[in-house]
Amino acid sequence: MPGRATNVVVGTIAGATTAAFRARHEPDGRFLLETLGGGAGGYLGGQLPDILEPATSSWHRSFAHSVAAGTGIAYLAHERLSAAQEWCRRQADTLAARRAQMPADSFAACLLALAETTLRILAGLLAGLVAGYLSHLVLDARTARSIRLI
């Protein structure tokens, strides 16, 4: 059975790679923020099945460790992820435009920059979370006990 360390490493790499791919057309700074967000999302997503169903024994796997859960997550990601990422990017662009009209050293400009950065990281985190979760299921499916259908 893959341990926590394996799930964390593979999830983080899967999350960062997925986010980087999805942000490949973004300018450099935005690309980097989304990729970092994807790594963080993958870190969390790689552990999420075991957070939802703690690994108290090798038989701990139930719905969160199932083909059905993986299929549902993949379907929702396919249907909603692009829209959610575009929403984050649009909101961040709106905040950047507002910030550009303010003195750079103002407190409000700093708050807008923080909110903008958070939204750009969130765009990547969403993609990374999905990739990390699915990577966990793939790793568990390759074990002797595999994962459940439902």
What tens digit of pLDDT does each residue of 12-64 get? 999 999 999 999 999 999 999 999 999 999 999 999 998 988 877 666 677 77
Residue 61 lies in a domain: yes
Domain-embedded: residue 146: no
Q: Which of 35-39, 75-79, 103-107, 133-137 has the highest mean pLDDT?
A: 35-39
* Residue 104 maps to a domain: yes
- At residue 140, does pLDDT exceed 90? no
Comparing C-alpha atoms, which of 11, 55, 26 is closest to residue 119? 26
Establish if 77 belongs to a structural domain. yes
Residues 36 and 39: their CA atoms lie apart, in Å, by 5
Rounded Cα distance, 93 and 87, in Å = 10
pLDDT at 58: 63
86 assigned to some structural domain? yes
Per the structure, the complete domain to which residue 62 belongs is given by 4-141
Q: How many domains does the chain have?
A: 1
Q: Is 33 inside any structural domain?
A: yes
Report if residue 9 sits inside a domain. yes
Residue 147 within any structural domain of the chain: no
Q: How far apart are CA 65 and CA 50, in angstroms?
A: 8
Query: What pTM did the predictor assign?
Result: 0.89
According to the model, what pLDDT value does residue 88 have? 98
